[in-house]
Structure 1
Amino acid sequence: MADIQENIIRTEYSEIMQKSYIDYAMSVIIARALPDVRDGLKPVQRRTLYDMYELGIRYDRPYRKCARIVGDTMGKYHPHGDSSIYEALVVMAQEFKKGLPLVDGHGNFGSIEGDGAAAMRYTEARLQKITQEVYLSDMDKQVVDFLPNFDETEKEPEVLPVKIPNLLVNGADGIAVGMATSIPPHNLGEVIDAVIAYMKNNEITVRELMEYIKGPDFPTGGIVVNKDDLLSIYETGTGKIKIRGKVEVEKGKNGKSLLVITEIPYTMIGANIGKFLNDVAALSESKKTTDIVDIANQSSKEGIRIVIELKKGADVENLKNMLYKKTRLEDTFGVNMLAVADGKPETLSLKQIIEHHVDFQFDIATRKYTSLLAKERENQEVQEGLIKACDVIDLIIEILRGSKSREQVKKCLIYGETEGIHFKTKTSERQAKKLHFTERQATAILDMRLYKLIGLEIETLMAEHEETMKKIALYEDILNNYSSMSKVIIKELQKVKKEYSRVRRTVVENAAEAVYEEKKIEEMEVVFLMDRFGYARTIDKSTYERNKETADSENKYVLTCMNTGKICLFTDAGRMYTIKVQELPFGKFRDKGIPVDNVSNYDSAAEQIVFVGSMADIIHTTLCFVTAKGMVKLVEGKEFDVAKRTISSTKLAEEDSIVMVQNAEAMEHLVLQTKEGYFLKFLKAEIPYKKKTALGVRGIKMNESDCVEHAYMLENRTEYPISYKEKTLVLNKLKLGKRDTKGTKTRV
């Protein structure tokens, strides 16, 4: 017990929480979410590629099941679940997401329209040629540091020896704790040219670098329309890029025009293509435009092709601008060039990313050529030993024949020890004592085969030695001269550019702001109809007058409003939803409406509508609120004049709900009816005016098991009969009470 007490550390709880959270945050930032500026890869990507390299899944070998790759990566290097590894593997294989795919996928790896990849047990993968040659080459030359894995049973590279600035070429996106990275992809050839330009002139500016890197190059193409903003983005590492889809005009049948979208903004990848199609359809349905006849998605493996058929004589340019303004055909890509540099997260400029990359390349080259030089010096030592051995080969043979063991021969060759060795002559023994080979040379001599003594083999050995000396001189020159190492790095970069660069896909320009002239709607009075199932529509006022009786009987809510106005829906959950009247279908009396769920955030499964009104009327009146727990208040209607589509209409206590919301302008008395049969009638003057954010005041005292079931507003000199327990009860005849009393239990 005493030992346990000695191990108890007393500390402030807040300090422990703070330290734990900071440790967690840094773990997410460094080890999960952000790429390293050196290789431009997140840990999960790096580990997956390295595991494929270790498993020998090369570009010129058969594909292997993704499940095998994912399982091996998770077991050895990345113990954070198979889904994150497989997702990273899939993204690295998707040509529409990566400017330079690093994995060659075989099978269903998803589509640009948002279809997910097949399960990992069905798909296969292998490394791309560029990944193997540019990202994973020289791993055997100690060019990067290796660290223990999570359980210290394996070693994994700290970074991969990537020869190109992958952070720029493939971009990056990731959400960490309190920070996020979003880097657009760029053109490989342009990035390499910029790196070479920097290596030739370290004082180069970002503006000068942009002579090589024109701007982002998205795999989906598209048009960057704010070219002038790019300088600021590349200098600061943050900003917003505006991108548009590419729209072409084609001639259709019968003189109609077709708007054909052949390239989409990078941000539209996935489910946003479907959303775009729905948005275009909604523009037509809501009568924002009457020029669209049909929309069809004809996209295939060959590329994007979305066709919008227009009416004859439609204003094509205006409609194109409408698509830019009203849909995601023009979108914003938020740039935040955040990466892990020198072990900490840092927002980097374009030049800083290139600087870090070049420093990394010099570090890799130094380690590579140091390793190669050491190897060649070993070769030199062995070759010189064998050449020297050829000159005294007869003596060596005599030593071999006169020795009893390999160790005896080795000592003689290295130290000239002749004890125990039988020589034919004293001269041979004296010569043997003068021998002074290194241990490596002695081992090579003992391992040498007899055929090496043939004249041609000796000549080959001499030629090899000469070649080795040339390599040593070359490697020493590279290691000792900045310019020589620069030339080697530049040569490799040019080789990569020649083999793997492609034509730029994204156009970068300064385009005029899309100006869309919206057709002014002729303002008119309409009648809003909503049935008990929540289907709403509007009709012409004269149509309503002709069908008034039927309209009133078939619909739960009927009210007059302007076609340019808004309808407000109040629910029992204390929320108010607004709907633009224009968003509702307008037509004939027997036309079907649409669910109000479709044009608002209202969820009919979770809450019920208790009041519907026109905002134009509500803001000039007073609303009375009554809740199930008996809370009442009056609220000025102007408080509900808001632009938001959804707001909280009142504050509710826990487990409370709204029973009634009504226009209280003409009200003289309020009657509250409880579930247990209590009725309380009191004056409107007793109800205080409150803000919509207030709870209100208690209207009636109730038993804990009781609640307000109905509320009625009585006007002056108007009889208000209700059916209660199958009999008629006239509310006006109820005894007048005071607010916040229990009321009277009515026995009819």
Structure 2
Amino acid sequence: MTEKIREQIIETEYSDVMQKSYIDYAMSVIVARALPDVRDGLKPVQRRTLYDMHELGIRYDKPYRKSARIVGDTMGKYHPHGDASIYDALVVMSQDFKKSVPLVDGHGNFGSIEGDGAAAMRYTEARLSQIAQEAYLADLDKDLVDFIPNFDETEKEPEVLPVRIPNLLVNGADGIAVGMATSIPQHNLGEVIDGVIAYMKNPEINTRQMMEYIPGPDFPTGGIVTNRDELLAIYSTGAGKIKIRGKASIEKIKGGREAIVVSEIPYTMIGANIGKFLNDTYALVESKKTSDIVDISNMSSKDGIRIVIELKRGADAQNVLNLLYRKTRLEDTFGVNMLAVAEGKPETMGIVPIIRHHVNFQYELATRKYTNLLKKEKEKKEIQEGLIKAVDVIDLIIEILRGSRSVKMARACLVDGITEGIRFKSEQSEKDARLLHFTQRQADAILQMRMYRLIGLEIEQLRADYEKTMQNIQEDMDILEHRASMARVIIRDLKEIKKTFARKRRTLIDNVAEAVIEEKPIEEQEMVVLMDRFGYVKAIDLSVYDRNQEAADKENKYVIHCSNLDRLAVFSSTGQLHLIKVLDMPGGKFRDKGTPIDNLSKFDSARERILFAEALGAVKESKVFFGTRAGYIKQVDGAEFDVSRYSSIASKLGQGDELVAVGTIRGAETLVMETKSGYFLRIPVSDIPEKKKAAVGVIGIKLGRADRVSQMYLLTDQEGGLTSLHNKKVVLNRLHIGSRATKGVKR
């Protein structure tokens, strides 16, 4: 037994197993879930949902059915990946703001362009749209496509739907697979059909020529494509970036003011991004990027988008609109990667190869369709010939039927002329019966023929039907034998679809110059920045400070006079410098709480302490002193801190060290260093060397093994510099002046 088990063990490298398993998984996701097929432009979940609705008979001219029924049936029969993915696909296929050609007719709350989700599937109802029924699912009963077993081999599902239009271009696609993603823009149905017809007439057509019929994407939300000249490269390679912007106009409103009215949005703004656009516009006002906007209102409804941005009197409306284009998603980028599954493999294709695959698919469908039709017409011809022949000898046939004891006996006589067992009125009738040679199919038709078919008019109709059948056979054979004839049939069907379902283009395509913002110079004025001990900061007008000076000085740790064009320099215990524009600080009333500097900079209050804050303008005109816990000191030219970055290193620190004191040396004569063990060392400021901010500094005080610096004080001659140690007061300017790098005196 053990030997038999050992013989069944297959030894292999773990890495080989993992590689094969991952590749199998990746290809499953790519081909069977995430990417559309180039032939019908559908992902498996979309294809299965539409096919299930077709099988359930939920046609566009029939009553709606509960979405839950559709989802459940699709999941049970064809798509065992959870109801959420199926319902999401159903919802998206019904949303006319996401799909140029909705394939599902939804009834109930199927979401909104502003990001509202659809109601639960138990509440909504759906049915196929007319175009889905007529251009996506028609002729499924004519054996046009292969059917494959479903996941548990209890049902059959189509490998691909017999879609008659290039759905991949018309409705676009988006999806994320393993290691790849697809993003295909949507196009105008009528233009795409014109492009397909142009290709069928000239298979050598190039991308530039194709773009005479399909000039660019046509998003259901409208908008403007602003980089028309770049579309040729995008459609040639299948990859690139399309720049789109919303459509906005400037309208006069009451009071002699103007308003910017957004009536169409970029396709990328669908959903929550509309709310983000409103927030971003509000943020422009909050951050004082513009003071021309006085009100923002979203008046959008089911009838369309209408976002009104009211401006103050005398505002430059075009400049504000350009600001919105530059700083919000009113102008955005649509990344194009036209990736689809072609012949079982993912492939990035330009617009002409996509149409080529579609046209080849149409020829395959037409070949199978007319082959099946020809077969049926030939079967019909055979039966009609038998019935016409039977009419001419109908008296003999009636005699055979009356003389036969069974249907089998009568059929044998009609097919092979076997007369044994049949009673005839005369020998001549029996001789004539032996000459009969109907086919099996003809004999069955004769046996099933009703007597009313012997009426004169019915016989004439039978001969007319036969002539029509012969004509159909000739037409079907012509279509199958001549590609040009097949092309005419396909083009005729495409023109009929265009006539019924095409609509006008919504998206304007043009070359639009990049939006330029004319920066208005900000008038300089004196401000006072207040920061409390918790790190909350605000900027107020000098006049407001003057009226509340006593309270402001008492309640705040830092009271900094500066210009509104200046920046606040914040030095932290970790050696970081954080620069904050005064214009970015919240202003207004004196009693407003302010904003934590964590929200205005990269300052991290969880690991940093504020040691010093000053206007950058004042810092640049001074020398900045740094003292560390390990006793290192230095001074740095303040001009070194005039940098463009919001956060940078102010002083290099040794391993495990941190700053305990930072300040400007402005009139200071001496420096006093205090340690945890109670040592004090007072030295002249002139003994503090000037270093670069990237330097560690020099030893200021010699520390014992377990000692460290707790405080440092910069003193002028007039300052007493009181501190306390062990409940005893220490007057700092009475300390003996010592030498740098000594131990100092203990108190």
Q: What residue number does 1:270 align with? A: 271
- Preserved contact between residue 561 and residue 615 of structure 2 (Cα < 8 Å): no
2:710 is aligned with what amino acid?
A: Y
Which residue pairs with 1:417 in the alignment? Answer: 418
Q: Please list the CA deviations of residues 236-284 of structure 1 after superposition, one character each: whole Å capped at 9, or x if unmatched.
A: 1111111121111211112111211111111111111111111222222
Residue in structure 1 matched with residue 236 of structure 2 by the alignment: 235
Q: Spell out, residue by residue over 1:439-461, the C-alpha distance to the aligned partner (whole angstroms, 9 max, x if none).
A: 22222222222222222222221
Q: What secondary structure sits across from 1:36 in the alignment? A: coil
- The CA deviation at 1:380 is 0.9
1:174-189 alignment runs, 5 A limit: 174-189=175-190
Question: 2:73 corresponds to which residue?
Answer: 72
Paired AA for residue 223 in structure 1: I
8 A contact 1:86–1:120 mirrored in 2:
yes
1:545-580: per-residue Cα shift (whole Å, max 9, x none)? 775553344345655666445557799999997654
Shift of 1:166: 1.0
CA distance in 1, matches of 2:723, 2:566: 35
| Structure 2 match to 1:106 | 107
SS in 1 for 2:127: strand
Match of 1:138 in 2: 139
Q: Which residue of 1 aligns with 2:209?
A: 208
Which position in structure 2 is the counterpart of 1:257? 258
- The DSSP-based 3-state class of the residue aligned with 2:409 is helix
* C-alpha deviation, 1:87, in angstroms: 1.1
Give the whole-Å Cα distance in 2 for the aligned partners of 1:186 and 1:635.
Answer: 65
Opposite residue 712 of structure 1, the aligned amino acid is S
Equivalent residue, structure 1, for 2:483: 482
Q: For residues 710 and 170 of structure 2, what CA distance do their matches in structure 1 show?
A: 69
Q: Secondary structure at the match of 2:251?
A: strand
Checking the alignment, whether the CA contact within 8 Å between 2:612 and 2:663 is kept in structure 1 is: no
Within-5 A mapping of 1:389-400: 389-400=390-401
User: What's the offset of the Cα at 1:351?
Assistant: 0.9
Measure the CA separation in 1 of the matches of 2:611 and 2:421: 115
Supply the distance in 2 between the matched residues of 1:213 and 1:288 (Cα, whole angstroms): 40
Instruction: Report deviation, 1:404.
Output: 2.9
Deviations, residues 637-680 of structure 1 (Å, cap 9, x unaligned): 9999887778999999xxx999977638989899898xxxx999
**C-alpha separation in 1, matches of 2:660 and 2:146:** 70
CA distance in 1, matches of 2:574, 2:163: 57
**What is residue 695 of structure 1 aligned with on the other side?**
none
In structure 2, C-alpha distance between the alignment counterparts of 1:625 and 1:403, rounded to whole Å: 122
Preserved contact between residue 626 and residue 659 of structure 2 (Cα < 8 Å): no
Contact 1:535–1:593 at 8 Å: present in 2 too? yes
Query: Structure 1 residues 359 and 713, CA, compared in 2 at 3 Å: closer, same or farther?
Result: farther
* Counterpart Cα distance in 2 of 1:711 and 1:173: 61
Taking structure 1 as reference, are residues 689 and 313 closer, same or farther at Cα in structure 2, changes over 3 Å only? closer
Any idea what SS the aligned residue of 1:261 has?
A: strand
Alignment of 1:204-603 (within 5 A): 204-522=205-523, 526-531=527-532, 535-540=536-541, 544=545, 547=548, 549-555=550-556, 563-564=564-565, 579-594=580-595, 599=600
**CA offset at residue 139 of structure 1?**
0.6
| 1:308-357, Cα deviation, whole Å (9 max, x unpaired) | 11122211221221111121111111111111111111111111111111
| Deviation for aligned residue 1:141 | 0.7
Letter in 2 for 1:714: M
Whole-Å Cα distance in 1 between the matches of residues 96 and 68 of structure 2?
Answer: 21
1:123-166 per-residue CA deviation (whole Å, 9 max, x = no partner) reads 11111111111111111111111111111111111111111111
Note if contact 1:134-1:162 (Cα within 8 Å) is conserved in structure 2. Answer: yes
Given residue 221 of structure 1, which amino acid in structure 2 is its aligned partner?
G
Q: Secondary structure at the match of 1:156?
A: strand
* 8 Å CA contact 1:552, 1:558 repeated in 2: yes
Q: Would the alpha carbon gap of residues 48 and 713 (structure 1) be closer, same or farther in structure 2, given more than 3 Å must change?
A: farther
| CA offset digits 1:98-142 (Å, max 9, x no partner) | 111111111111111111111111111111111111111111111
Partner Cα distance (1:154, 1:648) in 2: 68
* Contact 2:262–2:307 (8 Å) recurs in 1: yes
SS of match in other structure, 2:294: strand
One-letter amino acid of the counterpart of residue 712, structure 2: L
Q: For the Cα contact (< 8 Å) 1:385–1:437, is it kept in 2?
A: yes
385-394 vs 192-201, which deviates more? 385-394
Distance in 2 (alpha carbons) for counterparts of 1:572 and 1:23:
54
Task: Write the letter of the residue equivalent to 1:99.
Answer: S
Number of aligned pairs? 711
Q: How far apart are 1:422 and its partner, in Å?
A: 3.4
Give yes or no for contact 1:39–1:160 (8 Å, CA) kept in 2.
yes
Percent of aligned positions with the same letter in both sequences? 62
Local SS of the residue matching 1:110: coil
Partner of 1:663 in structure 2?
662
2:712 paired residue number: 714
Write the letter of the residue equivalent to 2:138. Answer: S
**Distance change (3 Å), C-alpha of 1:560 and 1:48:** farther
Residue 517 of structure 2 aligns with an amino acid whose one-letter code is Y
| Ranges in structure 1 where 5+ consecutive residues have no aligned partner | 693-698, 703-707, 734-738, 740-747
Shift of 1:358: 0.9
- Corresponding residue for 2:685? none
Say if 1:43 and 1:721 are closer, same or farther in 2 by CA, change over 3 A.
Answer: farther
* Separation (CA, whole Å) in 1 of partners of 2:34 and 2:562: 52
Judge conservation of contact 1:113–1:269 (CA < 8 Å) in 2: yes
Aligned residue identity for 1:390: V
Instruction: Find the counterpart in structure 2 of residue 745 from structure 1.
Output: none
Where in structure 2 are the equivalents of 1:593-632 lying within 5 Å? 593-594=594-595, 599=600, 613=613, 616=616
Following superposition, the deviation at residue 45 of structure 1 comes to 1.1
Between the aligned partners of 1:445 and 1:371, the Cα distance in structure 2 is 24
* Change in 2 beyond 3 A, CA 1:257/1:395: same
The 1:61–1:416 alpha-carbon spacing in structure 2 relative to 1, beyond 3 Å, is same
- Larger mean CA deviation between 613-622 and 228-237 belongs to 613-622
Q: 1:556 to 1:458 in 2, by over 3 A?
A: farther
Partner Cα distance (2:574, 2:109) in 1: 45
Worse overlay, 98-107 or 538-547: 538-547
Q: Which residue of structure 1 aligns with residue 129 of structure 2?
A: 128
Question: What SS does the corresponding residue of 1:586 show, helix, strand or coil?
Answer: coil
- Largest Rg, 1 or 2: 2
Tell me how far apart the structure 2 counterparts of residues 80 and 714 of structure 1 sit (CA, whole Å): 67
| DSSP-derived class of the 2:436 partner | coil
Closer, same or farther: CA 465–490 of 1 in aligned 2, 3 Å = same
Shift of 1:610: 5.7
Cα distance, 1:468 vs. partner?
0.9
TM-score by structure 1 length? 0.84
Distance 2:230 2:320 in 1: 26
Determine the structure 1 residue equivalent to 2:744.
Answer: none
**3-state DSSP of counterpart to 2:506:** coil
State how far apart, in whole Å, the 2-side matches of 1:241 and 1:668 are: 63
Q: Do the aligned partners of residues 493 and 729 (structure 1) sit closer, same or farther apart at CA in structure 2, a change above 3 Å counting? A: farther
After superposition, give the CA deviation of every residue in 1:7-62 in whole Å (9 maximum; x if it has no partner): 33322222222222222221111111111111111111111111111111111111
Distance, in Å, in 1 between the alignment partners of 2:657 and 2:56 is: 64
Is contact 2:93–2:99 with CA below 8 Å preserved after alignment? yes
Q: CA deviation at 1:614?
A: 6.3
Residue 689 of structure 1, CA deviation: 9.8
Q: 1:623 to 1:333 in 2, by over 3 A?
A: farther
Q: In structure 1, how many angstroms separate the alpha carbons of the residues matched to 2:680 and 2:345?
A: 69
SS of the residue corresponding to residue 663 of structure 1 reads strand
Change (3 A) 1:210 1:387: same
- After superposition, the Cα gap between the structure-2 partners of 1:24 and 1:247, relative to the gap in structure 1 and judged at 3 Å, is same
Please provide the CA RMSD for this pair.
4.2
Supply the AA of the counterpart residue of 1:392. V
My pick for the range that moved more, 397-406 or 259-268, is 397-406
Contact 1:570 1:576 in 2 (8 A): yes
Tell me: CA distance 1:528–1:74, structure 2 relative to 1, closer, same or farther (3 Å). Answer: farther
Q: Distance in 2 between matches of 1:569 and 1:77?
A: 63
